[in-house]
């Protein structure tokens, strides 16, 4: 073997070793970079579905759970509350829930899967304030003789009925949002996921 052939062989071995080391370094650098692009556990949890136990929720009571950083109200309506929805149909701006503020299965007068339970995001559609509950009816509510119960946004006076439907001529342009949800059992609701399993 001549000196030139030995030198070419040595260069080739050096080139192969350098290329292999460079490839390993590139992979070692790329793996943490790619891993940093995936959402963190905290970010995943922020958008994750939330289970709510409604077994202790009595008729006429409301509970709040947090989903995606927003308050979600679960109201167990009484028969009287449900019958009041007939009286507010003419007064609300979207009585049949035609606007896209709820999933398809909640496009009804009750805006729910089960009429007894209202599940809605507790944020006003005007400027994002949180309405307060005004479940008392009539003059006792402080809302006037013709008040049938519902929600009042204290910031600009938007009023919503017991289905979260906004009254006509209010600052809020839309009904309260109904999040995707499904019943896992008679006493457990999964908020944030309505897929069929």
Determine the number of helices (DSSP H) and then strands (DSSP E) in the chain: 3, 9
Give a three-class secondary structure readout of 95-154. Answer: CCCCCCCCCHHHCCCCCCCCCCEEEEECCCCCCCCCCEEECCCHHHHCCCCCCCCEEECC
Let me know: does 172 contact 158? Beta carbons within 8 Å. Answer: yes
Let me know: does 116 contact 110? Beta carbons within 8 Å. Answer: no
Compute the distance between CA of residue 146 and CA of residue 180 in angstroms, rounded to an integer.
32
Catalytic residue among 110, 126, 148, 156: 156
Let me know: does 145 contact 139? Beta carbons within 8 Å. Answer: yes
Compute the distance between CA of residue 72 and CA of residue 11 in angstroms, rounded to an integer.
69
Asked if 148 is an active-site residue, the reply is: no
What is the set of active-site residues? 156
């Amino acid at each position: 073997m001549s000196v030139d052939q030995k030198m070419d062989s040595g260069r080739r071995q050096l080139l192969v070793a350098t290329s292999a080391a460079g490839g390993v370094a590139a992979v070692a650098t790329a793996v943490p970079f790619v891993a940093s692009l995936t959402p963190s556990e905290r970010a995943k949890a922020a958008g994750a579905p939330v289970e709510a136990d409604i077994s202790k929720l009595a008729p006429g009571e409301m509970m709040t759970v947090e989903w995606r950083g927003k308050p979600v109200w679960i109201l167990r309506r009484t028969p009287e509350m449900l019958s009041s929805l007939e009286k507010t149909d003419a007064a609300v701006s979207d009585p049949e829930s035609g606007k896209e503020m709820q999933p398809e299965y909640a496009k009804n007068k009750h805006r729910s899967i089960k009429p007894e339970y209202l599940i809605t995001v507790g944020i006003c559609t005007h400027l994002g304030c949180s309405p307060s509950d005004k479940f008392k009816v009539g003059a006792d509510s402080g809302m006037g003789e013709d008040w049938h119960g519902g929600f009042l946004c204290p910031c600009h006076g938007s009023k919503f009925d017991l289905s979260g439907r906004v009254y006509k001529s209010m600052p809020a342009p839309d009904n309260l949002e109904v999040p995707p949800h499904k019943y896992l059992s008679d006493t457990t609701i999964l908020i944030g996921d309505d897929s069929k399993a």
